[in-house]
């Protein structure tokens, strides 16, 4: 009887331990929302047939436009292989405002874009982008990828009225992780939808006014020593108003 009781007690203890570990490894969800703003300017320089250089600067505001969130400086090259196909690559330096200080990141993009004009004034484009981002801070590889790789797909629909300076457009972009930590698993980290209108100010300059909804998701495993306690899932809903100016130079 004593042996059976001890066996039963050990079985119950083992089951309780397994339940605690399994329960601790569950997802803990957090969510937040913000109204943000974006002010950007950029340029395109035509170097030769099909080849052009690109540059841009962006200022992002958060907390209902009351605080600076981050700054971007980008430069890159693009090449029109065919009227329906282009490729490009760029580098971006990012300064992010965090806890009264600045966190710096380096980012690289490689793009391929397909374009199609189905009928009339409509234009469709599909951009596939591979992105890598590294941050200047230590990271536990079990909880966070640094550098982080992602694949981003963006579909854009644009309408260009005849003899009009403006053209409305809509786009949807989906970004998925490529090297998230194993305990987080690969997941969709961003869904971005945009409505906007491009306004030609002259033959070489244009203004882009847009509103955007970003649904950002991050998953970060939380450990107690070597034991996985839970996976923290943070979701942020961002409502964004933005304006961008672009100038084209060269022949």
174, β-bridge pairs:
153, 191
- Per the CB < 8 A criterion, the answer to whether 231 and 183 are in contact is yes
Residue 228 and residue 125: Cα distance in Å, rounded? 43
User: Averaged over 76-85, what is the pLDDT?
Assistant: 96
Q: Is the pLDDT of residue 56 over 70?
A: yes
Q: What is the CATH number of the domain that holds 235?
A: 2.40.160.40
- From CA 144, how far away is CA 180, in angstroms rounded? 7
pLDDT band (50, 70, 90) for residue 6:
low
Say which residue, 52 or 12, is predicted with more confidence: 52
pLDDT of residue 138: 84
- The three-state secondary structure class of 138 is coil
Whole-structure pTM value: 0.86
CA distances (Å), 133 to each of 117, 143, 225, in order? 33, 16, 27
Give dist(CA 35, CA 33) in Å, integer.
Answer: 7
- Backbone phi, psi, residue 12, to 5°: -65, -40
Residue 18 pLDDT greater than 70, yes or no: no
22 inside domain: no
Backbone angles phi, psi at 247, to 5 degrees: -120, 130
- Separation CA 154–CA 177 (nearest Å): 15
Q: DSSP letters of 217-238? A: EEEEEEEETTEEEEEEEEEEEE
- Distance CA(113)–CA(85), nearest Å, equals 6
Between residues 10 and 173, which one has the greater pLDDT?
Answer: 173
pLDDT tens by residue, 102-119? 999 999 999 999 999 987
Percent with pLDDT over 70 in the chain:
90
Instruction: Please check whether residue 121 lies inside any domain of the structure.
Output: yes
Residue 21 located in a structural domain: no
Task: Report which DSSP code applies to 9.
Answer: H
178-197 pLDDT, tens digit each: 999 999 999 999 999 999 99
- How much of the chain, in percent, has pLDDT values that exceed 90? 75
User: In terms of residue numbers, what domain contains 156?
Assistant: 28-250
Average pLDDT in the chain: 90
Residue 168: inside a domain: yes
Does the residue 122 lie in any domain? yes
Contacts (Cβ under 8 Å, ≥6 apart) of 172: 154, 155, 191, 192, 193, 194
Q: Examine residue 234 and state whether it is found in any structural domain, yes or no.
A: yes
In a domain, 211, yes or no: yes
pLDDT of 14 over the 60 cut: no
Domain count of the chain? 1
Closest CA to 105 of 93, 117, 87: 93
Give the model's pLDDT for residue 7: 53
pLDDT tens digits along 127-164: 999 999 999 888 889 999 999 999 999 999 999 998 88
Domain-embedded: residue 3: no
Average pLDDT on 121-129 reads 96
| Cα 120 from Cα 138, distance rounded (Å) | 53
């Amino acid at each position: 009887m004593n042996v059976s009781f001890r066996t039963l007690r050990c079985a119950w203890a083992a089951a309780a331990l397994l339940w605690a570990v399994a329960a601790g490894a569950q997802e803990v969800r957090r969510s937040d929302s913000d109204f943000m703003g974006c002010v950007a300017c950029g340029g395109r320089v035509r170097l030769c047939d099909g080849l052009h250089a690109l540059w841009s600067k962006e200022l992002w505001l958060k907390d209902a436009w009351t605080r600076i969130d981050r700054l971007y400086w980008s430069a890159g090259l693009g090449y029109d292989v065919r009227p329906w196909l282009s490729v490009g690559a760029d580098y971006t330096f990012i300064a992010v405002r965090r806890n009264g200080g600045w966190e710096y990141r380096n980012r690289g993009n490689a793009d391929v874009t397909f374009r199609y004009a189905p009928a009339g004034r409509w234009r469709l484009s599909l951009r596939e982008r591979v992105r890598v981002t590294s941050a200047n801070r230590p990271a536990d590889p079990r909880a966070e990828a640094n550098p982080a790789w992602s694949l981003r797909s963006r579909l854009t629909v644009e309408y260009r009225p005849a003899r009009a300076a403006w053209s409305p457009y809509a786009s949807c972009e989906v970004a998925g992780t490529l090297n998230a930590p194993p305990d987080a698993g690969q997941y969709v980290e961003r869904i971005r939808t945009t409505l906007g209108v491009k306004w030609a100010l002259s033959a070489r300059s244009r203004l882009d006014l847009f509103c955007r909804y970003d649904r950002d998701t991050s998953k970060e495993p939380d450990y107690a020593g070597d034991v996985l306690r839970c996976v923290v899932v943070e979701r942020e809903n961002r409502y964004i108003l933005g304006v961008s100016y672009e100038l084209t130079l060269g022949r």
